[in-house]
């Protein structure tokens, strides 16, 4: 009975405290709470609405302006974000918190020098004991790197590592600076630190192998290449023998892709010939060159990804026109069969990984695209599902289920909006 009385007393106390809070502040707290909840759920429009409602109750609250500015920044609404953070700075005494927010807004707009100044204000004024203090150096380091100040960026990342040595992503940022500065041994050391805990990271593995190649450490570079070849099935096809380490030469690979695309363009000029057999030969020649271009293309850097997209767009154009579709390689069929086995075990993430490996080597395989779309939908990744189903429809425009495929996209688009 005593414990019951204690519980009753507790609820009476909560009721009394709540009843004594003015409605104005109750509404303020509710709106601020709902705004934060909506933001965490990715419902940014709702977050803006609730922060705006809260500001109507507390118009001099700099923290609310800052929070709404962060949401606007996520939405790409930089004018509103900038206006809110300027207001926050104008009415708050704790401006060092808001310099970081303004810096991040300027950074997203590519205004790196102005962002560097604000990050510096944060670094100079913020409490060094704060758990997030290191992010000031990280932010300034990024802006210095983007502005071409690699040496200063490397020093900033070193400071961020000093304050947060457990954040291994900081090592990859510094490694990128060292690599661009030609300090390949230092870059390799940082990539090794990161990969010790993240051994499957493709980008960091690639640049580690590239650093080893630049250093003349051929055996180490080959070891990295062999590990990457376990998931990238194009490696043993296009990078063997004396050309093995060409894999790590982005400039050479980009040049090869451009050359193949030029040859594809020449072949495609001949598909409008009156001779049907000659047109088929030109199409087949174009497709063979596209396969080579795909094998050399990468998505490591922005320019490389643009080339990769160009190759894929040409595949979308050529593949449906082929009179006789190329046979799927046996190793690709093996991966898709194994992926199906994972699906039966409801191990969907593993199934997606196996289908992705198959598509790395055989991006034109319609069935793999369709199955990937359905798996992504099962995992509620509807954006990826739409992307894969669109690819399926472009590769197999005459498929009997094309109407159903399009309807699935309509369904998933609704899920994405909600």
Reported as a pLDDT band with limits 50, 70 and 90, residue 268 is: very high
**H helix intervals, 58-200:** 62-75, 78-91, 95-108, 112-125, 134-146, 150-163, 169-180, 184-197
Whole-structure pTM value? 0.81
252 phi/psi in degrees, rounded to 5 = -65, -45
Q: To which residue do tokens 């790395």 refer?
A: 360
pLDDT at 254: 96
Does pLDDT of 61 surpass 90? no
User: Residue 158, Cβ neighbours under 10 Å: how many?
Assistant: 14
Does pLDDT of 22 surpass 80? no
Higher pLDDT, 59 or 264: 264
313-336 average pLDDT score: 95
25 phi/psi in degrees, rounded to 5 = -75, -30
pLDDT at 7: 44
The CA dihedral of 245, 251, 252, 255, to the nearest 10 degrees, is 150
Least confident of 13-17, 66-70, 333-337: 13-17
Does pLDDT of 25 surpass 60? no
Does pLDDT of 12 surpass 50? no
Least confident of 36-40, 123-127, 228-232: 36-40
Does pLDDT of 230 surpass 70? yes
Does pLDDT of 360 surpass 90? yes
Least confident of 69-83, 206-220, 316-330: 69-83
pLDDT, tens digit, for every residue of 154-196? 999 999 999 999 999 999 999 999 999 999 999 999 999 999 9
The widest CA-to-CA distance across the chain, in whole angstroms, is 98
Distance of CA 115 to CAs 67, 101, 125, 248, 403, Å?
18, 10, 15, 34, 50
Name the percent of the chain lying above pLDDT 70: 92
pLDDT, tens digit, for every residue of 304-315? 999 999 999 999
Does pLDDT of 20 surpass 50? no
pLDDT, tens digit, for every residue of 29-53? 677 777 788 778 888 888 888 888 8
Does pLDDT of 24 surpass 60? no
Q: What is the DSSP letter of 415?
A: H
pLDDT at 28: 56
pLDDT, tens digit, for every residue of 66-123? 889 888 888 999 999 888 888 888 887 667 889 999 999 999 999 999 999 999 999 9
54-62 average pLDDT score: 86
Distance of CA 34 to CAs 40, 45, 85, 224, 416, Å?
10, 12, 21, 48, 21
pLDDT at 154: 98
Return d(Cα 238, Cα 218) in angstroms, integer: 18
Does pLDDT of 376 surpass 50? yes
Q: Are 311 and 290 in contact (CB under 8 A)?
A: yes
pLDDT at 407: 97
Name the percent of the chain lying above pLDDT 90: 71
Higher pLDDT, 82 or 385: 385
Return d(Cα 152, Cα 177) in angstroms, integer: 9
DSSP string, 168-220: THHHHHHHHHHHHTT-HHHHHHHHHHHHHH-TT-HHHHHHHHHHHHHHT-HHH
Decide: helix, strand or coil at residue 127. Answer: coil
């Amino acid at each position: 009975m005593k414990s019951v009385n204690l519980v009753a007393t507790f609820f009476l106390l909560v009721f009394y405290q709540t009843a004594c809070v003015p409605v104005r502040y109750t509404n303020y707290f509710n709106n601020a709470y709902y705004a934060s909840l909506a933001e965490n759920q990715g419902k940014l429009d709702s977050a803006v609405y609730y922060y705006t409602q809260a500001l109507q109750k507390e118009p001099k609250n700099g923290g609310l302006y800052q929070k709404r500015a962060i949401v606007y920044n996520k939405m790409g609404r930089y004018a509103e974000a900038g206006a809110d953070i300027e207001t926050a700075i104008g009415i708050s005494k704790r401006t060092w918190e808001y310099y970081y927010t303004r810096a991040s807004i300027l950074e997203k707009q590519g205004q790196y020098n102005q962002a560097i100044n604000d990050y510096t204000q944060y670094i100079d004024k913020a409490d060094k004991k704060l758990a997030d203090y290191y992010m000031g150096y990280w932010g300034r380091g990024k802006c210095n790197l983007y502005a071409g100040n690699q040496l200063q960026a490397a020093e900033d990342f070193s400071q961020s590592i000093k304050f947060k040595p457990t954040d291994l992503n900081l090592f990859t940022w510094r490694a990128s600076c060292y690599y661009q500065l030609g300090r390949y041994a230092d870059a390799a050391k940082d990539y090794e630190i990161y990969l010790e805990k993240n051994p499957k990271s493709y980008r960091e593995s690639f640049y580690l192998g590239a650093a080893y190649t630049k250093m003349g450490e051929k055996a180490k570079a080959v070891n990295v290449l062999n590990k990457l070849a376990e998931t990238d099935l194009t490696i043993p096809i296009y990078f063997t023998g004396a050309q093995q380490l060409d894999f790590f030469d982005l400039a050479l690979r980009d040049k090869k892709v451009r050359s193949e695309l030029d040859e594809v363009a020449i072949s495609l000029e001949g598909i409008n010939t009156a001779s049907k057999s000659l047109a088929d030969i030109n199409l087949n020649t174009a497709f063979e060159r596209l396969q080579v271009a795909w094998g050399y293309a990468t998505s490591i850097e922005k320019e490389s990804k643009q080339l990769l997209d160009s190759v894929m767009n040409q595949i979308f154009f050529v593949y449906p026109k082929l009179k006789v579709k190329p046979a799927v390689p046996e190793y690709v069929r093996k991966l898709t069969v194994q992926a199906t086995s994972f699906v039966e075990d409801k191990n969907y993430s593993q199934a997606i990984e196996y289908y992705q490996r198959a598509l790395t080597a055989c991006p034109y395989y319609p069935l793999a695209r369709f199955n990937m779309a359905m798996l992504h939908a099962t995992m509620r990744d509807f954006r990826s599902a739409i992307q894969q189903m669109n690819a399926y429809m472009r590769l197999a425009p005459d498929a009997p289920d094309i109407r159903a495929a399009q309807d699935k996209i309509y369904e998933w688009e609704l899920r994405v909006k909600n």
